[in-house]
Every structure is written in structure tokens, then in C-alpha cells.
Chain A
């Protein structure tokens, strides 16, 4: 009888050790922590047509700037509206899932239709250069700024 007890106790001990190890492993593997997505990107300060755009570029996300750069910005006035062509060049082999936004300013530097300019999605394939058009919403626009960032994907990682 004593022997029987000894056996059952040792079985429980090894069982619970196993349980602890299993639980720890499961927790480590499946553990969850919500990592906030990276929402910074590359962009520009206010640029008026005719100004050299390269002096106004800003990099807020060094990781993205290794994969993507603004290679050209062209502007013209068409039907009284400022039209621009933004060239984005990828130096990355894989597809970049991006979103871009233009912001428009009047001649005093005040923002026009704040918050109404939508972020537009753009898939940039490996090493591709895409030309993205933008059009001022009203003839009052005198300068613009732009911003490009990756579409944040929420991953739950340990």
C-alpha cells in the first residue's frame, strides 16, 4: 500500500512538472503583446511650385527611406488648378504597400480643406518607379506638402 502511494506521488510530481513546463512553453510561444504599428514615413514640408523640391524633403522613418525615395516632383497649372506628378522609386525587391497624402495650402500658407485629403493606397512592386498624380482641390492652392507611409498591419507578436 505504501509502495502504491509512492508510485502515485512520483507520477503526480512528474505530471505537474510536465504541466509547468508545457504551460511555460505555451505561454512563451503564444504569448501576446500588441505592438503598435509603425506609422511614420517620408514626406516634405510646404513646397511652392518652382521651388527645388529636394531641399524640402523630410525623412521620419529611416527604415522606409532605405526602401523608398521621392525621385521627382513635377508641377504645372492646368484649368487654373495646380497639378503635380510625384515619382516614387522603390529600392526594395519586394512589394511595398504604401499610402500617400497631399496637403494643400493657400498663398498665406494656410491649409485648405484640412483633413479632407484622403490617404490613397499604392502598391509599389520591387524596384518600380510609380508616378502618382495629385490635383489641387481649388484654384486658391499656392503650395503643397506630401507624405508617404506604409499601410500599418496589426500583428500580434510576443
Chain B
């Protein structure tokens, strides 16, 4: 009898000690794989939005005409985050501008770095350290012809069993000279989260 209790005790201890414990494991994942950790705006959404917007812009007939003989100069204004989440929209515009630049169809000016450029030109012009014949000149920069801007909006709904989130990303390209919107497109994402019965 005592043996039975002892064996049960040992078996239980062994099971608890070696069995199903939660061990934290660190792994490298695939940065481009579809990620469904939770319902919030995630890396897959960012990549999907950036890829679809770039593709749409690059195949549009208007852009075909604009880029026929020249590489238009763009500047990215910003993406307004109208969702209820904190989303780094600069990261989306970074992805879009990088893809557009790498396509070889467009050129960009970066308005976020104006202060740094001014500081460097000031140094070259007025510090006395740089050979004046080799110093970069003020007033030689090229102005942007087009402005890229947009919005990210969301509609969130949930009940006790399910949550649903809908994102709409709008991107527009404006001709700075005429003020005309030359191109616009939007892309949508729907994500739902619900309880699923998992069987084996």
C-alpha cells in the first residue's frame, strides 16, 4: 500500500519535473512570413500595404506617362494615422519610398533631413575648413515636383466572441505645380479574431 503511494508520488514528481513545462525559447523567424500574433496592425499588414501601393502606382497609366522620359522627383509628406492604435506610419512611407526609389522610376527628396543638410552646408561654407572650390553650394538643390501623402483609417468592432478590424489605406500623388491629384489608390485589410474549437 505504502509502495503504491510512493510510486504515485515519484511518478507525479517526475511528470511535473520533466513533462509539460513552459520553457521560453528564442528563435529567429522569417521577417516576411505572414504573422497572426494578434489583431493589431502588424508586419504583414505593413508589407502588404507597401507592396500593393507601390505596385499600383508603378502600373498606373498616368505614372507610365510621367516616367516615360524622366524620373519625377517626389517628396513624402506623411500618412495621417486616423486609427485608434499607435502605428508608426513613417515606417509605411519608408517602405513605399524605398520600393519606388529602387524601381528606378522615381527620385526622392527627404524633408526630414533638411536641418542636417543645412548644418553640413553651413560647415562647408563658413567653417573655413573646407576648400571653397570643393564645397557644396547653397541654392543648388532640386525641388520636388510631386507630393505623396495619405491616410490610414480603421473601423473596429467586437462582441464577446469575435473582434473585427478593418483598415483602409489611401495614398495620393499630387502635382505641386498645378495642385492636381495625378494618382490615388486605396487598399483594404480585414482581420478577425474569434474563438476556434481545436480538436485532435
- Residue of chain A at shortest CB distance from B1: A13
Residues of B contacting A78 in the complex (Cβ-Cβ under 8 angstroms): 59, 64
Q: Which segment of A44-52, A57-65, A66-74, A115-123 sits at the interface?
A: A115-123
Asked if A20 CB lies within 8 Å of chain B CBs, one says yes
CB neighbors of B among A97-127 (8 A): 99, 101, 113, 115-121
CB neighbors of A among B17-54 (8 A): 19-20, 30-34, 36, 44, 47-48, 51, 54
- Residue of chain B at shortest CB distance from A98: B34
Nearest chain B CB to A123's CB is how many angstroms away?
9
CB neighbors of B among A111-158 (8 A): 113, 115-121, 133-135, 137-139, 151, 153, 155, 157-158
- Of the candidates A12, A121, A155, the one having the most CB atoms from chain B within 10 angstroms of its own CB is A121
* Contact across chains for B103 and A101 when beta carbons are under 8 A apart: no
- Of the candidates B30, B34, B55, B104, the one having the most CB atoms from chain A within 10 angstroms of its own CB is B34
- Interface footprint category on A: 35 or more
* Contact across chains for B12 and A23 when beta carbons are under 8 A apart: yes
* Contact across chains for A99 and B200 when beta carbons are under 8 A apart: no
Q: What is the size, in residues, of chain B's interface with A at 8 Å between Cβ atoms?
A: 33
Interchain CA distance A12-B5 in the complex, whole Å: 9
Nearest chain A CB to B186's CB is how many angstroms away?
16
Contact string, B46-72, partner A, CB cutoff 8 A, digits 1/0?
011001001100110001100100000
Nearest chain A CB to B151's CB is how many angstroms away?
22
Q: Which of B5, B32, B55, B105 contacts A119 (CB 8 A)?
A: B32
* Contact across chains for A120 and B55 when beta carbons are under 8 A apart: no
* Contact across chains for B58 and A81 when beta carbons are under 8 A apart: yes
Interchain CA distance A9-B58 in the complex, whole Å: 83
Contact A115 to B103, CB < 8 A, known contacts A16-B5, A31-B20, A120-B48: no
A–B pairs, 28, beta carbons within 8 Å: A12-B5, A16-B4, A19-B8, A27-B19, A79-B58, A81-B59, A81-B103, A101-B32, A115-B32, A116-B32, A118-B32, A118-B44, A119-B30, A119-B33, A120-B34, A120-B51, A121-B34, A121-B44, A135-B54, A135-B58, A135-B59, A137-B99, A139-B103, A139-B104, A151-B34, A151-B36, A153-B36, A157-B200
Residues of chain A at the chain B interface (Cβ within 8 Å): 9, 12-13, 16-17, 19-20, 23, 27, 31-32, 78-79, 81, 83, 99, 101, 113, 115-121, 133-135, 137-139, 151, 153, 155, 157-158
The 4 closest A-B pairs by CB, nearest first: A118-B47, A135-B55, A32-B20, A157-B200
